[in-house]
């Protein structure tokens, strides 16, 4: 199959491209490299022995997207591209709405023009807002607490309206929980510029002494030890979930949402302890005030994804913390 992957040079995108190439799919990547580096392409080739087609373009430029669809007969699109920093989205809401919504509208219009109506969309557990019950099921009420989350939710609405207007579309909306880890080659992984926003990249930078200590945002939540609980999922498992979703959209005509998580919730303190034990290294931390907008607990009910997609995670928490650390050691 010819699969267009937008944002294919990013953390989750690059891991998914590797799995697709290893599955003998043809991959065409669109990425503007705003949050990734060109050398990811060589690393993908090193891992798989194959080089995907690559276009460094912005999806907000519709004419350029048109050209890609004219150059390739695309069977299905996996749409990762988008800005994703929660804090930045609060400071620059217009940038987030402009970028994430216009790019997606352009992509959908061009897909429609080329009669390509199969789509896998990267959504996020952030669309569940502050869930009333746990574990989180796909039919829970949706809401958001920041502009980034709103862009994901608006796009979900757009996709549902699009499907209603034309049931020839087939769309899988994947709601990711907290991806961490790295490819076991340690050639690709997550290494954000500057001070990381997310827990695991921050822990790793403390471990390699690029940062002094971890700030734990609150220990007075209603959780097992007072610190925030999340559903961490290995990025390679998450990437494999996309292959299952592609199979689904190729064989059905429907729109549906799937949680991609393990179903296990771990606290910040549990993450720190596991990281220290597995990697045999200390991660100094201090407890500070809660981070605004954070919720106490968020973890998936993965039953529906298992039933409908046959999706199951294989990697353990130990694999996740080991691979996150090893990737950075190999790419300092
Ligand atoms: N945390 C700290 N210190 C840090 C960073 C995080 O204590 O320096 C804590 C947070 O308070 C939270 C947990 O670690 O309890 C996880 O925080 P992350 O920032 O790693 O992840 P979030 O769950 O807040 O958000 C992530 C993505 C969002 C996505 C969401 C989906 O950043 O884009 O998961 O569930 F929407």
Q: How many helices (H) and strands (E) does the chain have?
A: 12, 14
Say if strands 266-267 and 229-230 run parallel, antiparallel, or are unpaired.
Answer: antiparallel
**pLDDT over threshold 90, residue 194:** no
**pLDDT over threshold 90, residue 191:** no
**φ, ψ of residue 245 in degrees (nearest 5):** -70, -35
**pLDDT over threshold 90, residue 193:** no
pLDDT score at 111: 98
pLDDT score at 325: 98
pLDDT score at 85: 93
Q: Per-residue pLDDT averaged across 25-37, rounded?
A: 97
Mutation probe of ligand 1 site: the residue of 85, 181, 210, 230 with most atoms within 8 A of C-beta: 230
pLDDT band at 229 (very low <50, low <70, confident <90, very high): very high
265 C-alpha vs ligand 1 centroid, how far in Å? 13
pLDDT score at 332: 82
pLDDT score at 256: 98
Calculate helix-pair angle for 235-251, 11-22, nearest 10 degrees.
60
**pLDDT over threshold 90, residue 3:** yes
% pLDDT > 90, the chain: 98
Q: CB-side exposure of 283: number of CA atoms within 13 Å?
A: 28
Q: Which residues does ligand 1 sit against, CB inside 6 Å?
A: 84, 86, 124-126, 177-178, 197-199, 202, 214-217, 228, 230, 268, 291, 294, 298
Which range among 77-81, 180-184, 291-295 shows the weakest confidence by mean pLDDT? 291-295
Calculate helix-pair angle for 102-113, 62-71, nearest 10 degrees.
40
Per-residue pLDDT tens over the stretch 204-215: 999 999 999 999
d(C-alpha 40, C-alpha 127), whole Å = 29
pLDDT band at 10 (very low <50, low <70, confident <90, very high): very high
Q: Per-residue pLDDT averaged across 259-276, rounded?
A: 98
d(C-alpha 115, C-alpha 112), whole Å = 5
What are the start-end ranges of the H helices in 92-194? 93-96, 102-113, 147-165
Would you tell me how many other CB atoms lie within 10 Å of the CB of residue 52?
21
CA quadruple 76, 313, 197, 200: dihedral sign: negative
pLDDT score at 192: 85
Q: Per-residue pLDDT averaged across 39-64, rounded?
A: 98
**φ, ψ of residue 9 in degrees (nearest 5):** -100, -5
291 C-alpha vs ligand 1 centroid, how far in Å? 9
Q: Which atom of ligand 1 approaches the CA of 178 most closely?
A: 34
Task: Look up residue 289 and give its DSSP letter.
Answer: P
pLDDT score at 78: 99
pTM above 0.95, yes or no: yes
Q: Which residues contact 13 (CB under 8 A, 6 or more apart)?
A: 5, 6, 7, 29, 31, 36, 78, 80, 81
Mean pLDDT of the residues in the chain: 97
3-state helix, strand, coil in the chain (%, to 5): 40, 20, 40
Catalytic residue flag (residue 148): yes
Q: Which atom of ligand 1 approaches the CA of 271 most closely?
A: 14
Q: In a 10 Å sphere around its CB, with 0-12 CB exposed, 13-18 middle and 19+ buried, how is residue 71 labelled?
A: exposed
3 C-alpha vs ligand 1 centroid, how far in Å? 31
Of the residues 128, 148, 163, 266, only one is catalytic, namely: 148
199 C-alpha vs ligand 1 centroid, how far in Å? 6
d(C-alpha 235, C-alpha 15), whole Å = 7
């Amino acid at each position: 199959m010819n699969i267009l992957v937008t944002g294919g040079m990013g953390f989750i995108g690059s891991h998914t491209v590797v799995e697709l190439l290893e599955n003998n799919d043809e991959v065409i990547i669109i990425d503007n490299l705003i949050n990734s580096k060109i050398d990811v392409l060589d690393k993908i080739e090193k891992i798989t022995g194959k080089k995907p087609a690559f276009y460094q373009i912005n999806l907000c430029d519709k004419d350029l997207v048109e050209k890609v669809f004219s150059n390739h007969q695309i069977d299905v699109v996996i749409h990762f591209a988008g800005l994703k920093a929660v804090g930045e989205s609060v400071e620059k809401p217009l940038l987030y709405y402009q970028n994430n919504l216009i790019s997606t509208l352009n992509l959908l219009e061009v897909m429609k023009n080329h009669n390509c109506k199969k789509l896998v969309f990267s959504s996020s557990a952030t669309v569940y807002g502050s869930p009333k019950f746990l574990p989180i099921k796909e039919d829970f009420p949706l809401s958001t607490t920041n502009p980034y989350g709103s862009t994901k939710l608006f796009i979900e609405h757009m996709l549902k309206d699009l499907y209603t207007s034309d049931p020839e579309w087939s769309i899988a909306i994947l709601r990711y929980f907290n991806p961490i880890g790295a490819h076991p080659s340690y050639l690709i992984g997550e290494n954000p510029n500057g001070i990381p926003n997310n827990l695991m990249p921050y822990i790793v930078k403390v471990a390699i002494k690029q940062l002094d200590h971890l700030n734990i945002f609150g220990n007075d939540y209603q959780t097992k030890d007072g610190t925030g609980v999340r559903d961490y999922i290995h990025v390679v498992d998450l990437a494999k979930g996309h292959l299952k979703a592609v199979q689904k959209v190729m064989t059905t005509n429907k729109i549906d949402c799937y949680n991609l998580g393990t179903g296990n919730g771990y606290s910040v303190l549990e993450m720190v302890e596991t990281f220290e034990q597995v990697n045999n290294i200390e991660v100094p931390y201090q407890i500070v005030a809660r981070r605004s907008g954070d919720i106490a607990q968020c973890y998936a009910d993965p039953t529906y994804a298992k039933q409908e997609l046959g999706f199951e995670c294989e990697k353990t928490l130990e694999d996740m913390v080991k691979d996150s650390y090893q990737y950075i050691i190999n790419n300092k």
